[in-house]
Each structure stands twice: as structure tokens, then as C-alpha cells.
Amino acid sequence: MFYQKLLPFIQSSTKRTYKRSQSIYMEGEEPQSLYLVKSGLIGLYHISESGKETFLRVFAKDSIFGHRSYFAQTPYHANAIALSESEIHIISKEQCNEICENHPDLLKELMKIISLELGEAEQRLAGLLDKSANTRIRESLVFLKLKYPQKVWTRKEVADFSGSTLETVTRVMTTLSNDGLIQKNGRDFKILDVDKILHYIDSAQG
């Protein structure tokens, strides 16, 4: 795996800790390094002038981030924010260059990662146009909670990820809970029936 191959470079790298809501980098800044998540959860957010927040990507243990801007050679197009207490390895530009020059296998691995990310982004782009908010919210609940079960996802985070609002997320969750498809525990929740959540007949689109 990618992370394994990267290990030798991490030995000599800086490690930093971030608390929830702390920013690792901000849109517009020049990329100076790559980041590797050692523990915790990082969210990549786009924030528009009007203040609308869009939750673009999640990074968990062993994921890298900051790679897009590094290779595009453009300023960051979004903000990286800790979603929970996180430890991050910071890989310097010099180390990155060394990797690129002398480790084509790692480069190819990175290529695969970014290709998958582009696929996901375009899939979501299309989904925003042909799926109802209700459907997107249900898919996001399943995706986020099954992939990162330890995290207590807020309604706002689900809303920003699904492209909706926290009020609408609340309403969908209330319905799902009443139908016994999820179980609410305080602010947290549990997925009870993945299939029914995803195949729920959405009156908005049959």
C-alpha cells in the first residue's frame, strides 16, 4: 500500500497535532508540503464568498492530502480543517521532490489516488443534478457513518457533504428514525438497515 511505501520518508518528517476545528491550511495559500494523517479525521472544505460551506473530501488515518495543489502547482483551492483531534505528518517540499524524482512507483500510486478522487468528485457533481436532496442525504449518511463510524457527525457536516441544509438533514433523519432504519443516540446515530435506506422510494423521483 501507498502508506507502507511512504514510511521511510516519514521517519524524518515533522509531526503536528490539531484540535477539532483547527485549520491545517487555507484556500489561497501556496502549497509548501504534503500531509499524511496519522490519527483523527480531516475535512477538505470549500467556502464561498457568501459563506456557503461545501465539504469536498474526508481524510482518515494513512491518507495524504495537499497533493492536488502540490502537483497542480496552484494555491490551495479549499481549506483543510480537523474534524476531530488529529495527528498529521508534514512532508516537506524537498522530500516531495525527492520522491518524485527517484520513486516513480510512488508517483504512480499517487496518480491512482488522485484519479479515484477525480472520479468521485465528478460522480458527486452529476449526483447533485440528478438526485433529490433527500436521496443525497441518505447516501451521505450511509457513506459517512459506515466509513467513519467513530465520528459523531453533526447535521451540518452531513448537510455540507450532501449539498443540502442542516434542517433538511434533520427532517430526513427523523423520518428514517421513525421508519426504524437508523437509531438516534443523543447527537450520534447508528445505521440499522443500509439497503432500505438506499432503496427507500423517494416520492420525488420514484
The contacts of residue 161 (CB under 8 Å, 6+ apart) are 55, 140, 144
The nearer residue to DNA, 102 or 203, going by C-beta atoms, is: 203
Task: Build a one-symbol-per-residue string for 3-42: x at contacts with its own copies by CB under 8 A, - elsewhere.
Answer: ----------------------------------------
- Binders in 47-66 for its own copies, by CB under 8 A: 48, 50, 52, 54, 56
Size of the site for DNA (CB under 7 A): 24
| Residue 182 CB burial class (10 angstroms; 0-12, 13-18, ≥19) | buried
Chain centroid to Cα 110, Å, comes to 17
**Choice from 108, 150, 178, 186 touching its own copies (CB under 8 A):** 108
Residue type for 13, please?
A: S
111 near its own copies, rule: CB under 8 A: yes
Task: Build a one-symbol-per-residue string for 98-137: x at contacts with DNA by CB under 7 A, - elsewhere.
Answer: ----------------------------------xxx---
Task: Build a one-symbol-per-residue string for 151-190: x at contacts with DNA by CB under 7 A, - elsewhere.
Answer: ---xxx--x---xxxxxx-xx-xx---------xxxxx--
**Choice from 28, 98, 125, 196 touching its own copies (CB under 8 A):** 125
Report CA-CA distances (Å) from 194 to 123, 132, 146, 152.
Answer: 20, 18, 9, 18
CA separation for the pair 151, 144 (Å, rounded): 9
Helices (H), the chain: 2-10, 67-72, 93-102, 104-130, 133-147, 155-162, 166-178, 194-199
- Footprint on this chain of DNA (rule: CB under 7 A): 132-134, 154-156, 159, 163-168, 170-171, 173-174, 184-188, 203-204
